Amino acid sequence: MSAIDYSKWDRLQSSSDEEDLGNPIPPQSPRRPVTIGPFAVADPWAQADPQVRREVIKEEKILQKFVRQHPCPSQKALRDWLRRMSDAPAKSSEPQPTFTWVMKDMGWRSEHLAWFHYPSFRELWDAAALPTAEAFPVQRKAGSTLYERGGKGCMQFNFYALQHAMCGEDFDTDAPLPVYSYAKHIEHVWDGIGSWRA
């Protein structure tokens, strides 16, 4: 009796991976122009009360320090994590919604994993280490790229994946409060990109 040739299984497995994270599914909503909405301001706190401005700068420094100490996970680590989240059952009893829960709630399945775009994801992660005004064009560019790839759904997918990865789900568990509010900042920066509204 001859030995079993597992090489075909390896090719089958890798082609399945390519299907999951290959070409993104097309946008489900009509295309809209990329504009700059009223909430998309490079430095929204520039004219704020000095006390408020000091607090904002203090929080920015905490976020910047966190990102310098916690570089963006590798593409492979993130893809493996997304596959696990896609395959795991959503538990409604969890104190904080997991990315698995978000996927189920949004109706995303394994084919939606193709919306993940590591270059844009990494740009958003790394931009958190920049001063707000410098980060703004990087964040806008990443949002526009995601919109071109798969519309608002693609933007939402990467937005929630970033939030969950940065705030500790399977990557780090001691994220300070400014890390949690980074997603709200991105939400405003992206205002006006296609159908995205803050």
Length of the chain in terms of residues written:
198
Is 198 inside a domain boundary? Answer: no
Residue 30: its pLDDT value, please? 63
Q: What are phi and psi of 193, to 5 degrees?
A: -75, 105
Residue 44: its pLDDT value, please? 82
Is 151 inside a domain boundary? Answer: yes
Is 50 inside a domain boundary? Answer: yes
Return the closest-CA partner of residue 109 out of 100, 120, 98, 121.
Answer: 100
Is 54 inside a domain boundary? Answer: yes
For residue range 62-83, list pLDDT tens digits in order.
999 999 999 999 999 999 999 9
Number of domains comprising the chain: 1
User: What's the CA gap between 129 and 61, in Å, rounded?
Assistant: 8
Residue span of the structural domain in which 85 resides: 46-189
Which three-class secondary structure state does DSSP give residue 98? Answer: coil
Is 52 inside a domain boundary? Answer: yes
pTM for the complete prediction? 0.83
User: What's the CA gap between 4 and 25, in Å, rounded?
Assistant: 36
Is 167 inside a domain boundary? Answer: yes
For residue range 138-168, list pLDDT tens digits in order.
999 999 999 999 999 999 999 999 999 999 7
Q: Kindly provide the b/e burial profile for residues 84-111, where b requires at least 16 CB atoms within 10 angstroms of the residue's own CB.
A: ebbeeeeeeeeeebbbbbbbbeeebeee
Direct distance between the N- and C-terminal alpha carbons of the chain, in angstroms, rounded to an integer: 65
In this prediction, the residues of the chain whose per-residue pLDDT falls under 70 are: 1-22, 27-30, 92-95
Q: Annotate 93-111 with DSSP letters as a single string.
A: T-SS--HHHHHHHHT--GG
